[in-house]
Amino acid sequence: MTHASPLSLFSLAGKHALVTGASRGLGQAIARGLAGAGAEVTVTARSLAALEETLALIGRAGGTARGLVLDQRDTAGISRALGPGRFDILVNNAGVEEICPSAEVREELWDKIIDTNLKGAFFTTQAVARGMLARRQGAIINLCSLTSYVGVPTATPYGSSKSGLLGMTRALAAEWAGQGLRVNAIAPGYFRTEMTEVFYQDEAWARNMEAKIPQGRFGQGEDLTGAVIFLASDASGYITGQCLGIDGGYLAAI
């Protein structure tokens, strides 16, 4: 009996991955990492123009990628855009965040965050999973958050969406494990991105938060790519229903 090289287990050659919300930040880093591991990558945003940088970066590195217009709040549009497309890997990264005192949260803000981060992720997963289930193979990775585990003041809608996403990860993993699909998640800690930049503008907050991270620094997009490649590849073939914290030790220390 021959055994594959351990490193070959991490190869994504011949795989087709879909990464939502990949025009910038963590989604862009994840898409670049998957392409670097050999996957053909489809990246989404609400406009093709927003994806130009991501596509160019992947192309210059020798990878293969295409852009797809997708609005996570438009469930009918999700169905039309994804149709019968074949994907081996799905990364549900698209998300929005907005802080607001809970007593002042309006229904529009609640719907914007929940519909994008949770409802949109579910219906994107449903659309992609139909093809995966027919082939009895596929890897789905959801972007959870520290707020999937801990309460953060003024982030109730966001925390609710990410807690729901963790529950969705576990439920789908249990339902689809016997049909060849694996559903896992990662929970990034404090990463400085365009979406979260508003927090880091408060220098006192940033210094205080950085001091709470055992590794002594905020995360960078590249800190996620190894974990995503692992969860997307055959190297994690017996892992499903798990959420891997990528937080510099933050959760372990609180």
- pLDDT (0 to 100) of residue 1: 40
The continuous run of DSSP H or E covering 109 comes out as helix 107-114
Q: Are 39 and 16 in contact (CB under 8 A)?
A: yes
C-alpha distance from residue 208 to each of 31, 121, 160, 188 (Å): 31, 32, 25, 18
Domain ranges of the chain: 13-253
Tally the C-alpha atoms within 13 A of residue 36's C-alpha that lie toward its C-beta: 16
Say how many Å lie between the first and final Cα of the chain, rounded: 47
Distance CA(190)–CA(50), nearest Å, equals 24
Residue whose pair of structure tokens reads 């994840």 in the numeric block = 30
Domain 13-253 has CATH 3.40.50.720: yes
pLDDT per residue, tens digit, the chain (254 aa), is: 446 678 899 999 999 999 999 999 999 999 999 999 999 999 999 999 999 999 999 999 999 999 999 999 999 999 999 987 899 999 999 999 999 999 999 999 999 999 999 999 999 999 999 999 999 999 999 999 999 999 999 999 999 999 999 999 999 999 999 999 999 999 999 998 887 887 888 899 999 999 999 999 999 999 999 999 999 999 999 999 999 999 999 999 98
- pLDDT (0 to 100) of residue 245: 97
Distance CA(18)–CA(12), nearest Å, equals 13
Q: What pTM was estimated for this model as a whole? A: 0.95
- pLDDT (0 to 100) of residue 3: 63
- Looking at residue 144, its amino acid is C
Report phi then psi at 221, rounded to 5: -50, -40
C-alpha distance from residue 185 to each of 95, 119, 122 (Å): 14, 16, 13
Catalytically active residues are: 158
